[in-house]
Structure 1
Amino acid sequence: MPLALKVYQAFDREPIAELPADDAAALERKLQAAAKAFADRDGWLPAHQRMSILRKASALLQENRDRFAMMIAREGGKPLTDAIIEVTRGIDGLVNAADELRNFGGKEIPMGLTAASANRWAFTTKEPIGVVAAISAFNHPLNLIIHQIAPAIAVGCPVIVKPAATTPISCIEIVKLFWEAGLDERWCQTLITEDNSLAEAFATDRRVAFLSFIGSAKVGWYLKSKLPPGTRCALEHGGAAPVIVDRSANVDAIVGTIVKGGYYHAGQVCVSAQRLFVHEDILDSFTEALATKVAALHVGDPKLAQTEVGPLILPREADRVTSWIKEATDAGTKQIGGGRMSETTLLPSVLLNPPTEAKVSMLEVFGPLTCVFGYRDLDDAIRIANSLPYAFQASVFSTDIAVALRAAKHLDASAVLVNDHTAFRTDWMPFAGRRQSGYGVGGIPWTMEEMAEDKMVVFNQVT
């Protein structure tokens, strides 16, 4: 009997589709096709064709914007307004990858600096690294895929992408648009499976030159440990992003931005604002304003335009977040808001000063929750913010330049956002987790560099 993958709406668990799933034989066929395409160097697509395909795919995605946005809302649970923004970013990201090729090249290596190097001319060129295995996550089921496959297509790597089992349709449909744009199927394929053993075999196959993994740290670091010698990788995980709110901050002006950073996509974002360190001088006014904004968030069906907070991806995730909140409240932590709307949908909540050893203080919640901690000394807040074994993006809100600069210097983060939330991102900026939060650098131009290798050519003048 053929394998099948059932896809459900995140909000109400209603079935969307039953898709054919891949088995080991299908994986082997796809790896063979990709490896064969790469081995034929005469068949590599020239840059102008890759640019044309990326631009055509972008135009096709623009034509299908609303269809993709609705699918993201259905299978991923992201509110429709935010899903439209995700598709819009994807449209631009494809053009970004094409445009980057205008400046994607090598450089001259100086010769003649010693007698031994005289009469030589040397330069580097860029070559694709090889077959790319991309494993993606559910929370941005279109744009994360684009961040993995657009750089591969741009530099000329065959790519096979495995979407999250909960959100495969957006992936399948964007790959179809690439084919419609003129890309031979061998250069961009999907692997549809919920079989973890098959996914591991895919990621660690000797024919894979580069693994792009977005997902849990436990799985990502495990796969990295299993890679064959010579295989390169990039890992993107998460954290518990810290936000420092200085006493000079204008509470009314910033609270909406912080709420967006903490409750966007129900907190299912790897850099979601989670730990809010607020100066004691404004702690009460900030907490009151935060609670008011959070209580006003419209929670419900993500397909509706007015919805601001939708469901978690699975019932077990709602159960997990609920249990973590209970652990904190059982220890005496005050909770503002909260509750459960449905099997997968939690009402947003705020926890005030949970214990440092509580899961909500130590681990990535990935749910509609922020934790507020009061502080008196800035350096103490920074020390606690830096105390976890992972680090990604961080924020500081302040109108005092000295405070902003000190926080920017001392926060352990790959990016410090000043007067903006931790979830801010553009698709052309570097995006990377530190320590346990990741390995390598994301962002379309940066991933293109990771998926390419320099080759040096040296000419010796024969006289």
Structure 2
Amino acid sequence: MTDMTIEVRAPFDGRLIDTVETSGAEAVEAALDTAYRLFRDRNAWLQPAKRVEILRQAARLMTDQAEHLAVEAAREGGKPLIDSRAEVARAIDGVLNASELLRSEGGSVVPMGGTTASLGRIAFTTHEPVGVVVAVSAFNHPLNLIVHQVAPAIAAGCPVIVKPAEATPLSCLRFVAILREAGLPEAWCQALVTESREVTGKLVTDPRVGFLSFIGSAAVGWSLRARLAPGTRCALEHGGAAPVIVAPDADLAAAVPLIAKGGFYHAGQVCVSVQRVFAHRSIAARLARELGDAAGKLRVGDPLLAETEVGPLIRPGEVARVHEWVEEAISRGAELLSGGSPLSETCYPPTVLLEPPPDCRLSTREVFGPVVCVYAYDDLDEAIGRANALPYAFQAAVFTRDFATAFHAYSHLDGSAVMVNDHTAFRVDWMPFAGLRQSGLGVGGIPYTFRDMTIEKLFVGKMV
């Protein structure tokens, strides 16, 4: 790494993939000046029909390049190729979703005439772009997260500056190039890999920024939010320690593979990965054993191989950290049912623990690795209380055949979404996706992000 470039290396074996130029304070200032001037010139705004055309053409280009995009994302991010292909398909659908919003998300009529003061008036609203959007993204979905932040900004008519994760900038740069090939003028979407956190801070906190979209760690996100200029809106997407409740009547044959998928997909590096499973005492040991068996059968290795189901962690330091947390839990009484030892400097096996102590790090913090903990409970409300006990709340799940149990869990769990008979990591990109408490601020999902990136502007006309 030099002062002017960073090396992008494959997390599985450290191979050099590419080098990328970094941007300092001068480049950030130039990007902000370009974007803000564009936003302030209303005559230069892209018309809705043009935005639709660009997004549709981008989706077509992405479809043509789908396999290349999947391989590139798998190489730089470490997600297995089978899952990277699914990510690319989601990203293409997300771009199309953004293009459709311009036909479905309109203003509204505000009734007049209901009071003497409002007689003889007509009122309606339209949408306008909120301003310059700055999008700071994470590594774990290097293409789809960028789409979630950038495509709604384009649909809304906002100039956007996007900063991808340093570990995975290539998918972002590829997507920006595709947008430009699709007809988007360069100034409307600028990608910067900033050279330091200080420079990122200058980008985010500048008063010319109208909206910050941040996906990443809670510590960084909340710190940036506290430093935003007055009037800058924001949405923060952090992580959690997603809870699953398994009732005694649950279909374990169906539940186990779903819990395994939700816990070990992308080596657990997902903000809503299954981490804490609360199973009724009558089935907890069996569930943990079967989950351990399922975990042990997953193939870990090179993400570019078709047979790989679990890839590496993003960097070796994360393997060491996850192992330290696992060893702590075992030393304090947790029973190890699968995994538990690094496979290499970069890969950690899918790991299942039964009854870690409630105050260890695996029980109280987001592991962001391939570890699932199982805890026995005696009473449903006890399980819900334990699930709700942490300062994080995002997506949760319950497995049961009983509607009353499902609805009771839905009504009492703190998550913004509760899945019934499915894992916590389920998502389609047009549904609301919201971290609560320390897990985030605002509502994600492409239509919701689009609304955040617009203002509703009122017209009131008086008849003369």
Normalised TM-score (structure 2): 0.98
1:315 aligns with 2:316: yes
Residue identity opposite 1:103 in structure 2: S
How far is the alpha carbon of 1:136 from its aligned partner?
A: 0.2
Partner of 1:386: 388
**Residue identity opposite 1:259 in structure 2:** A
Give the structure 2 partner of residue 341 of structure 1: 343
Structure 2: distance between partners of 1:440 and 1:194: 28
Mapping of residues 144-183 of structure 1, within 5 Å = 144-183=145-184
1: CA distance between counterparts of 2:332 and 2:195? 37
Structure 1 stretch displaced more, 298-307 or 279-288: 279-288
Residue 138 of structure 2 is aligned to residue 128 of structure 1: no
Segment drifting more, 285-294 vs 128-137 = 285-294
Counterparts of 1:194 and 1:388, CA distance in 2: 35
Q: Which ranges in structure 2 are unaligned for 5 or more consecutive residues?
A: none
- Residue 2 of structure 1, CA deviation: 6.1
TM-superposed CA distance for 1:111, in Å, is: 1.2
Alignment partners' CA distance in 1, 2:388 and 2:442: 20
Give deviations 1:281-321, integer Å, cap 9, x for gaps.
11232122111111000000000011010000011111111
Query: 1:91: which partner in 2?
Result: 92
* C-alpha contact 2:23 2:195 (8 A) present in aligned 1: no
User: Could you say what secondary structure the match of 1:384 adopts?
Assistant: helix
* 1:116 shift after superposition: 1.6
CA distance in 1, matches of 2:281, 2:106: 52
The DSSP-based 3-state class of the residue aligned with 1:424 is coil
Contact 2:289-2:337 within 8 A present in 1 as well: no
Q: Are residue 206 (structure 1) and residue 207 (structure 2) matched?
A: yes
Q: Secondary structure at the match of 1:344?
A: coil
Distance 1:301 1:141 in 2: 18
Q: Which residue of 2 aligns with 1:232?
A: 233
2:224 corresponds to: 223
Distance 2:345 2:164 in 1: 24
Could you tell me how far apart the structure 2 residues matched to 1:68 and 1:91 are? 11
Note the alpha carbon deviations across 1:46-66, whole angstroms, 9 max, x for none: 111100100000111111111
Alignment of 1:410-425 (within 5 A): 410-425=412-427
Is the contact made by 1:165 and 1:194 (CA closer than 8 Å) also made in structure 2?
no
Q: Read off the aligned partner of 1:43 and give its amino acid letter.
A: A
CA distance in 1, matches of 2:223, 2:3: 30
Residue 445 of structure 1: which of 441, 444, 447 is its match?
447
Higher mean C-alpha deviation, range 418-427 or range 334-343: 334-343
Contact 2:293 2:338 in 1 (8 A): no
> Structure 1 residue 108: deviation in Å?
0.9
**Is the contact made by 1:251 and 1:285 (CA closer than 8 Å) also made in structure 2?**
no
Alpha-carbon separation, structure 1, partners of 2:285 and 2:133? 51
Gaps of 5+ in 1: none
The offset of 1:164, in angstroms, is 0.3
| Structure-2 residue corresponding to 1:251 | 252
Counterpart code for 1:452: T
- What SS is found at the alignment partner of 2:375? strand
Aligned equivalents of 2:266, 2:443: Cα separation in 1: 23
Q: Does 1:364 align with 2:360?
A: no
| Paired letter, 1:278 | A
Query: Alignment partner of 1:423: what SS?
Result: coil
Is the partner of 2:282 in helix, strand or coil? helix
**Is the contact made by 1:79 and 1:301 (CA closer than 8 Å) also made in structure 2?**
yes
Cα deviation for residue 398 of structure 1 reads: 0.3
**1:374 paired residue number:** 376
State the identity %.
Answer: 55
- 1:403: Cα distance to partner? 0.9
TM-score between both structures, scaled by the size of structure 1: 0.99
Say whether residues 1:456 and 2:458 are aligned partners.
Answer: yes
- Give the AA of the match of 2:25: A
Task: Confirm or deny: 8 A CA contact 1:137 1:214 kept in the other structure.
Answer: yes
Change (3 A) 1:377 1:342: same
Asked whether the 8 Å contact 2:45–2:157 carries over to 1, the reply is yes
Report SS of the residue matched to 1:341: coil
In 2, distance between residues paired with 1:327 and 1:132?
Answer: 42
Q: Are the structure 2 counterparts of residues 230 and 286 from structure 1 closer, same or farther at C-alpha, using a change threshold of 3 Å? A: same
Whether 1:406 aligns to 2:408 is: yes
Distance of 2:63 and 2:196 partners within structure 1: 33
Aligned-partner residue type, residue 213 of structure 1: F
Cα distance in 1 for partners of 2:388, 2:311 equals 30
Q: Distance in 2 between matches of 1:9 and 1:191?
A: 20
Paired position in structure 1 for 2:80? 79
State the alpha-carbon separation in 2 of the partners of residues 293 and 332 from structure 1.
Answer: 22
Distance of aligned partners of 1:194 and 1:278 in 2 relative to their CA distance in 1, 3 Å threshold? farther
Equivalent residues of 2:131, 2:159 under 8 A apart: yes
Contact 1:158–1:186 (Cα < 8 Å) also in 2: yes
Deviations along 1:262-286, one digit per CA (max 9) or x if unpaired, are 0000000000000000111112321
8 Å Cα contact 1:110/1:121 also seen in 2: yes
Amino acid at match of 2:173: I
State the SS of the aligned residue for 2:54: helix
Q: Which residue of 2 aligns with 1:28?
A: 29
| CA distance, structure 2, for counterparts of residue 203 and residue 344 of structure 1 | 32
Asked whether the equivalents of residues 395 and 424 of structure 2 are also in contact (C-alpha less than 8 Å), the reply is yes
